[in-house]
Amino acid sequence: MRRVLERLGHEVEITCDGAEALERLTAPDAARLAIMDWMMPELDGLDVCRRVKNLGSMNPVYVIVLTARREKEDLLQAFEAGADDFISKPFDQDELAARLQVGQRIIEQQSLLSSLIDSIPDLIYFSDGSGRCLGCNRAFARYVGRNRTEIVGSRPPDFFDRARAEEYRELRERIERDEAPSRYSKWVTYPDGESRLMDCVTTPFHGPHEEMIGWIEVSRDITERHRIDREHRRLAAVVEQAAEAIMITDLDGNIQYVNPAFQQLTGYATEDAVGCTPNILKSGTHEDAYYRKIWTALEKGEIWNGRFTNRGKNGHFFEAESVIFPIRNREGEITNYASIMKDVTQELHLEAQLRQAQKMNAVGQLAGGVAHDFNNLLMVIRNSAQFALEGKESPEEVEEDLTAVIDAAKQAATLTRQLLAFSRKQVLSPRQLDLNEVVLGLENMLQRVIPENIRIRYNVAEDPCLCRVDHGQIEQVIVNMAVNARDAMPGGGTLIIETRHAQLSRQDAEEFIEWEEECTGRYVLLMISDSGVGMDRDTMHHIFEPFFTTKGVGKGTGLGLSTAYGIIKQHGGHISVYSEPGSGTTFKVYLPEVREKTETAGRQEQSGDLPGGGETILIAEDEPAVLHLATRMLRLLGYEVLEARSGEEALEVLDRYKGHVDLLFADVVMPGMDGTELAGKVSERYPDIRVLFASGYSEFHVKDQGMIHDENDLIQKPFVLADLAHKIRKVLGAPDSG
Bridging pattern class, strands 33-37 and 62-67: parallel
Q: Residue 650 is which amino acid?
A: A
Gap between the Cα atoms of 53 and 81, Å rounded? 8
Residue 688's Cβ-count burial label (10 Å; 0-12, 13-18, 19+) is exposed
For residue range 506-515, what is the model confidence (pLDDT) as tens digits? 666 555 544 4
- At the fourth CATH level, which superfamily is domain 242-343? PAS domain (3.30.450.20)
3-state secondary structure 448-461: HHCCCCEEEEEECC
The whole-number pLDDT of residue 412 equals: 80
- Closest by CA position to 679, among listed 691, 697, 662: 691
Gap between the Cα atoms of 511 and 336, Å rounded? 43
Question: How does residue 663 score in pLDDT terms, banded at 50, 70 and 90?
Answer: very high
Q: Provide the 10 A C-beta neighbour count for residue 450.
A: 18
Instruction: Give yes or no for a contact between 324 and 231, defined as CB atoms under 8 angstroms apart.
Output: no
The whole-number pLDDT of residue 734 equals: 58
For residue range 568-584, what is the model confidence (pLDDT) as tens digits? 887 888 888 888 888 89
Q: What is the CATH architecture assignment of 125-226?
A: 2-Layer Sandwich (3.30)
Q: What is the mean pLDDT of residues 529-545?
A: 82
Instruction: Give yes or no for a contact between 590 and 523, defined as CB atoms under 8 angstroms apart.
Output: yes
**3-class DSSP state of 470:** coil
The whole-number pLDDT of residue 27 equals: 73
Max mean pLDDT among 360-369, 460-469, 481-490 falls in: 460-469
Residue 552's Cβ-count burial label (10 Å; 0-12, 13-18, 19+) is exposed
The whole-number pLDDT of residue 248 equals: 94
Residue 348 phi, psi (nearest 5): -65, -35
The whole-number pLDDT of residue 653 equals: 94
For residue range 379-389, what is the model confidence (pLDDT) as tens digits? 888 888 888 88
The whole-number pLDDT of residue 409 equals: 84
The whole-number pLDDT of residue 334 equals: 92
Max mean pLDDT among 283-297, 407-421, 469-483, 543-557 falls in: 283-297
242-343 and 428-592 in the same fold: no
**3-class DSSP state of 330:** coil
Max mean pLDDT among 73-82, 142-151, 280-289 falls in: 280-289
368 or 322: which leads in pLDDT = 322
546 or 737: which leads in pLDDT = 546
SS percent in the chain: helix, strand, coil, step 5 = 45, 25, 35
The whole-number pLDDT of residue 288 equals: 87
Gap between the Cα atoms of 369 and 365, Å rounded? 6
Stated pTM of the model:
0.43
pLDDT for residue 737 is more than 50: no
Q: Which CATH number fits domain 2-118: 3.40.47.10, 3.40.50.2300, 3.30.420.130, 3.40.1160.10?
A: 3.40.50.2300
pLDDT for residue 352 is more than 80: no
Instruction: Give yes or no for a contact between 56 and 152, defined as CB atoms under 8 angstroms apart.
Output: yes
Instruction: Give yes or no for a contact between 38 and 65, defined as CB atoms under 8 angstroms apart.
Output: yes
Q: What is the mean pLDDT of residues 532-554?
A: 68
Q: What is the mean pLDDT of residues 719-735?
A: 84
The whole-number pLDDT of residue 422 equals: 53
For residue range 46-71, what is the model confidence (pLDDT) as tens digits? 887 887 776 655 567 888 887 777 77
587 or 82: which leads in pLDDT = 587
**Edge-to-edge strands of the sheet including 317-328?**
255-258, 245-249, 334-343, 317-328, 304-311
Question: How does residue 499 score in pLDDT terms, banded at 50, 70 and 90?
Answer: very high
- Closest by CA position to 620, among listed 555, 553, 667: 667
Max mean pLDDT among 92-106, 496-510, 674-688 falls in: 674-688
- Alpha-carbon torsion angle 370, 372, 374, 376, nearest 10: -160
Question: How does residue 555 score in pLDDT terms, banded at 50, 70 and 90?
Answer: very low
439 or 719: which leads in pLDDT = 439
Gap between the Cα atoms of 724 and 728, Å rounded? 6
CATH topology of domain 616-732: Rossmann fold (3.40.50)
The whole-number pLDDT of residue 621 equals: 93
Q: What is the mean pLDDT of residues 471-494?
A: 86
DSSP state of 494: E
The whole-number pLDDT of residue 518 equals: 57
CATH of domain 428-592: 3.30.565.10
Instruction: Give yes or no for a contact between 206 and 212, defined as CB atoms under 8 angstroms apart.
Output: yes
- Closest by CA position to 692, among listed 651, 720, 662, 663: 663
Gap between the Cα atoms of 159 and 157, Å rounded? 6
The whole-number pLDDT of residue 705 equals: 44
Q: Provide the 10 A C-beta neighbour count for residue 61.
A: 23
The whole-number pLDDT of residue 735 equals: 53
82 or 174: which leads in pLDDT = 174
Residues ≥6 apart with Cβ < 8 Å to 457? 494, 495, 496, 497
Residue 70's Cβ-count burial label (10 Å; 0-12, 13-18, 19+) is exposed
For residue range 208-246, what is the model confidence (pLDDT) as tens digits? 777 788 889 899 999 999 998 888 888 888 888 888 999
Max mean pLDDT among 195-209, 352-366, 722-736 falls in: 195-209
Q: What is the mean pLDDT of residues 61-87?
A: 77
pLDDT for residue 482 is more than 80: yes
pLDDT for residue 677 is more than 80: yes
- What mean pLDDT is reported for the chain? 82
For residue range 580-620, what is the model confidence (pLDDT) as tens digits? 888 899 999 999 998 766 544 444 444 457 888 889 999 99
Gap between the Cα atoms of 528 and 488, Å rounded? 13
Residue 147 phi, psi (nearest 5): -70, 150
The whole-number pLDDT of residue 508 equals: 62
Q: Residue 594 is which amino acid?
A: V
Instruction: Give yes or no for a contact between 599 and 522, defined as CB atoms under 8 angstroms apart.
Output: no
Give the distance from CA 515 to its chain's centroid: 25
Q: What residue spans define the domains of the chain?
A: 2-118, 125-226, 242-343, 349-415, 428-592, 616-732
Residue 339 phi, psi (nearest 5): -130, 135
Give the distance from CA 460 to its chain's centroid: 45
DSSP 402-439: HHHHHHHHHHHHHHHHHHHHHTT-S----EEEEHHHHH
